[in-house]
Amino acid sequence: MVTAPTDPTDPIEPIEPLEPTAPAAPAAPAQPSSTPNGPSFPVLPKDVHDKLVQRLRYSVSGFVDSPRGAVEEADTLLTEVVTRLTDLLAERRATLRAAWHENDAAVSETEELRLAMRGYRNVLERLISI
């Protein structure tokens, strides 16, 4: 950042940022995990994520020319994203539940229950932080 001098004869001096900024690494969606204690459940595959972002940008940029059409597209997009997330969460819950229920009989081994709890915590912390 550069500041304009108050006196036209003063040289322009750069201002240092208040906090050093590191380049942000692109966030890749998590890979699906078949175990309940995997790193995280997949939010959206990268190609789907990219298409949705592109549609959102298109909708926002079209607002000036067609406000109603842009809002309708955003509404449609939100419906699609909610449906996708709902489906993914239902799948993740089924995976977690299967890890501690064998043939509808509750598993009582502490280690399996601990891994299941890690999986539930992972999903719930992510949802609660939205």
pTM of the model: 0.59
CA-to-CA distance for 3 and 14, rounded, in angstroms? Answer: 6
- Give tens-digit pLDDT for 19-41: 444 444 444 444 444 444 444 55
Percent of the chain with pLDDT over 70: 64
In angstroms, what CA-CA distances link 4 with 14, 18, 73, 111? 9, 18, 43, 63
The predicted pLDDT at position 106 comes to 66
Q: Where are the domains of the chain?
A: 30-128
* CB atoms near residue 66 (< 10 Å): 12
* DSSP conformation class of 109: -
Q: What's the pLDDT band for 2 if we cut at 50, 70, 90?
A: very low
